[in-house]
Chain A
Amino acid sequence: MNETGKIITLHVGLIALLFAMNFILPAYHHGNIARVMVLASYAIGYNILFGYTGLLSLGHALFFAAGMYGMGLAIRFLGASPVPALLAGIAVGALLSAAVGALALRTTGVAFMIVTLMFAQAGYLTILLFGEWTRGDEGFVIQQAERILWGIDLSDANNRYLAALLLFGCCLLLSLWLIRLPVGRVFVAIRENEERAKLLGYDVVRYKLAAVVVSASFAAAAGASYGLLFGYVGATFATVQYSIFPLLWVLLGGTGTIIGPFIGAVFMFYLIDLSSGVTNAYMLIAGIVLVLLTLFAPQGIMGELRRRVWAWLP
C-alpha cells in the first residue's frame, strides 16, 4: 500500500474502530471514550498550533471556555437550540482568537507563552466578574430539555457517543487534510525555520494568525460540544490547568502527529482513572509517568513510533 493509502487506512480506520466500539464497549468505558473524544478534539486543535506551527500557547483554555460559554449563554439567555448555540460558541472562540492572536503574535517564544497565559487569566477573571450572568466558578447546568438536537436527545449515552465521534472525526480528518494542503506545509516550514520561510516570500504573520484562529476554532468547538454533551458550563474550564492539559496530551501522544493528541488524551485519562483505583496518590503516579516518558520517549508515543517504525505517519 502506498503512503497515502496507509495514512487513510490508519485515520479512517480509527474512526471506524471507534464507531464499532459504540456497540461493544461496556457502559463505563463508553462514557469515558465519549468524553475523551471531545477532549482529543481540543488537543488536535492545540496540536495544529503547537505541533505543526511550533507556537507554544499557555492560554488555550480561553478558547475552550469561550466556545463553552458562547454556547451556554446562547442557550441560557437567548433560548437558542443546540446547533445555533454550537455555532455561536465556535464563532466567539474564533473572533476572540483573531483579536488575541493579532496582539500575541508580536511576541515569540517564552514571551508568547506568557502573553497567551495572561489573556487566558484575564478571560477567567472576566467570567468571574460577570458572575451575575455566568454564575462564575459555580457555573450552570444545561438542562436535558435544552439539549435535544433535531429530536435526538444528546443526554442519551448512545447519541452522546456518536455526536462526540462526529466532532472528533471531523477534527481528525480536517486537520489531516489541512496539513497536506500548501497552507499546512507553510505551517511546518514556519516551525522548522521561520526566517527561511520569510525569506522565501511567505507572509509569516498572516500564516501564524491563521494557525491561531484555526487552532482556537477547534478548541472552541470542543468546548461548546463538551458543555452541550455533558450539560455543565463552568469557569473551572477557563483555569490554567485546562491550558496545560492539551499541552500534556499532545506531548505524551506525539507532537506534530495527527493521531497523537487522541492517543495522549486516552492515555492520560486512563492513567489517572486506573491509578485512582489503586491509591489516593494518583497524581503522584501521573507525575512519575510523565517524568519517565520525557526521559525515555521524548517524542511522545506516536512520535517515537514515527521515528522508529512508521516514517510515513503525518
Chain B
Amino acid sequence: MSKPLNLKPSISRRSAMKTLGLGAGAAAALPMWARYSNAQTSAPIRIGFQKHATGIGASYGRWYDRTSQAAVKMINDGGGINDRMVELVTEDDGTDPKRGAEVVEKFATQHNCDVGFGTLFSHVVIGSAPRAGELKLPYFVVSEGHHVASGMLNRYTLQPGITDVKSQVQAMAPFVGDTLGKKVTMIFPDFAFGHDHRDFFSKAIEAQGGEVVAKIAVPPAETSFTKYFPKIPRDTEVIYHVMVGPAVLTFVKELGEFFGPSRPEIFGFIDSLEAVDLASPGLEYLEGTYFWEGNPRYAQPDQTSYDKYFRAAVGVDDNGASVNDPKDVSTYAHMFGCWETLHVIKAGMEASGYAGPQDRSKLIEAVEAMTSMPESNEHPQGEKLFNGKTHQVFGKQYISKVTNGKLIRAHTASIEDTLYPDEVDYTSQGF
C-alpha cells in the first residue's frame, strides 16, 4: 500500500505569512529608501499552482505537485528569482473548468499571485484561460493541448514547458509508416483529445503514404472494450491507440484476450499508462509493442546527467517510480513540463527584471523572445525550441519499445520533425 499523500506544500501559507510579517516589520523600522528596497527583497514571488488534486486528473495532480515543489526548492536553493524566494500557492480545481476559472480568479485577486501555472486537462485550460486573460494574469499551462497554439486563447496564456499533441502525433507518423506498417486502425476516446489524435495523425500518415483503414471511437467512460474490437479490419498492420482514463488496463487486457497469440503491431501513447506499473497483471500483452513517450520513464543506457539530476530532485528511481514506494509509478512523460515551465518563468523574470505585477507584460514579452533552450538541468527532457508567436514550445519526441517489461527507447524524432506552420500570432495582440 502506498504512503499516505503528503498534502501540505513545503512552504505553508502560515510560514510564508510569518516571513512576510517579519519582513514587513523589519522594513518598517528602516528609513524610506532602505525600506523600499528591503521590502522588495523580502516579499516572495508567488506562483499560483492550479492543481488537479481531485477529480479525474488527480493521479497527474499529485506528481505535478511533487515536481513543482522540487523545482521551486531547486530555484530557492539557488537564490530564488531576482533575489526573491519563490512561493508556490496551491489550489485544487477538481479537474473542472468552472472551478478552474474560479481558482484563477483566486490567484489573481485574493492570493495576489504574480503568475498562474500548472493546468493539465484541456477542458480546464480552455475554461480557465479566458479569466486569466481578463485578469491579466500570465498563465503558464502544462497541458499538451493544441489549444494554445491554435489561437483560441489569449496573449497571457503560454505553454513553454511541454510540447503539444499536434507536434507529437505528427512526429510519430514517419516511424509508424516506415517501421510498423502502412495500414493503421486508430482506436481513440470519442472526445476532443481523441479527435485531435484522429485528425492530426490521419493527415500525417497519409502524407507518409499510409492509410487509416478504420477509426474506432470509444465513448467516454466506457468500461468494456471487447465489443469494439471486431470493427478492426483483418488487414490492419498497426493498431494506434490513445485510450486514457481508469479503464485503460481493461482495454489492454481485453485487447490481449481478443487477439490472443497473433496480433498486428501496436503503437500507443504513454498517456494510457501514466502512473500505471508496466508489471501490472494483464499488461504482459504489451510486450513488444511501441509507445510514444514524452520523456522516457525508465533510465536509458545513455542517460544524461540532467535526467539523473531531475530524478534525484523529484524523488523518482530509474524505473520512474517513487523512491519511497516502487509501486507508486509517476506520470513521468508529463511532469517534466512543470519543472521546465517553472524554470522558464524564472528565466523570463530574470530577463525582464520582473519586480512585481506591474511587470507582467514585460515578463510575457521576455518569454516570447525566447527561442532555443538547450538540454540542461533546467530542461532535462531535451533541448527545446520556443515559438514566441504561437506561445508553444517544440521538443524532441521519443518512441520506446516494451522489452522485458521495461520501456527502451527505440527512436527519437528531431525537433524539425515536429514543427508545423503557425496558426496564430499572439504578439500582434495587445495586452
Contacts and interface: CB of A to CB of B under 8 A. Distances in A.
Contact flag (A, B; Cβ within 8 A) = yes
Interface of A: 26-28, 30-32, 35, 125, 128, 131, 135-142, 144, 155, 157, 230-232, 234-237, 273, 276, 279-280, 282-283
Contact of B123 (A138, A231, A283): A138
Contact of B127 (A28, A125, A232, A273): A232
Contacts of A234: 97, 123, 126-127
29 contacts: A27-B108, A27-B109, A28-B105, A28-B110, A31-B105, A31-B109, A32-B102, A35-B102, A128-B219, A131-B190, A135-B192, A136-B191, A137-B191, A138-B191, A138-B193, A141-B152, A141-B153, A144-B134, A144-B154, A231-B130, A232-B97, A232-B101, A232-B130, A236-B127, A273-B106, A276-B92, A280-B7, A280-B54, A280-B92
Contacts of B387: none
B105 A280 contact: no
Among A137, A140, A142, A157, max chain B CB count under 10 A is at A137
A131 B191 contact: yes
Contacts of A157: 134
Given A128-B191, A137-B192, A157-B134, 6 more contacts: A28-B109, A141-B126, A141-B130, A231-B130, A236-B127, A276-B91
B411 interface: no
B123 A137 contact: yes
Contacts of A232: 97, 101, 126-127, 130
A273 B99 CA distance: 10
Interface of B: 7, 53-54, 91-92, 96-98, 101-102, 105-106, 108-110, 122-123, 126-127, 129-131, 133-134, 145, 147, 152-154, 190-193, 195, 219-220
A276 B192 CA distance: 29
Contacts of B108: 27
A33 B6 CA distance: 33
Given A136-B192, A144-B134, A32 B97 contact: no
A155 B134 contact: yes
A236 B192 contact: no
Given A31-B109, A35-B102, A232-B130, A279 B7 contact: yes
B97 A236 contact: yes
Contacts of A155: 130, 134
A23 to B, nearest CB: 16
Contact of B195 (A131, A279, A282): A131
Nearest to B54: A283
B195 A125 contact: no
A131 B96 contact: no
B179 to A, nearest CB: 32
B76 to A, nearest CB: 23
Contacts of B153: 141
Nearest to B103: A276
A35 B106 CA distance: 13
Given A141-B152, A144-B134, A136 B195 contact: yes
A138 B219 contact: no
A131 B199 CA distance: 13
The 10 closest A-B pairs by CB, nearest first: A231-B130, A138-B192, A28-B110, A28-B109, A27-B109, A232-B127, A137-B191, A31-B105, A138-B123, A155-B134
Contacts of B134: 144, 155, 157, 231
B425 to A, nearest CB: 15
Contacts of A237: 98
Nearest to B110: A28
Nearest to A155: B134
Given A138-B122, A283-B54, A128 B220 contact: yes
A73 B102 CA distance: 24
Listed residue (A131, A141, A157) with the most chain B CB atoms within 10 angstroms of its CB = A141
A137 B220 contact: yes
Contacts of B147: 138
Given A155-B134, A276-B92, A236 B195 contact: no
Contacts of B109: 26-28, 30-31
B136 to A, nearest CB: 11
A82 to B, nearest CB: 15
Given A26-B109, A28-B109, A32-B105, A230 B192 contact: no
B7 A230 contact: no
A236 B98 contact: yes
The interface centre, meaning the residue of B96, B131, B134, B147 with most chain A CB atoms within 10 A of its CB, is: B134
A97 B87 CA distance: 49
Contact of A141 (B7, B102, B129, B219): B129
Contacts of B193: 138
B133 A144 contact: yes
Nearest to B104: A31
Nearest to B5: A280
Most chain B beta-carbon contacts within 10 A, residue among A26, A232, A279, A282? A232
A272 B7 CA distance: 17
B101 A282 contact: no
B333 to A, nearest CB: 21
Contact of A140 (B91, B145, B152): B152
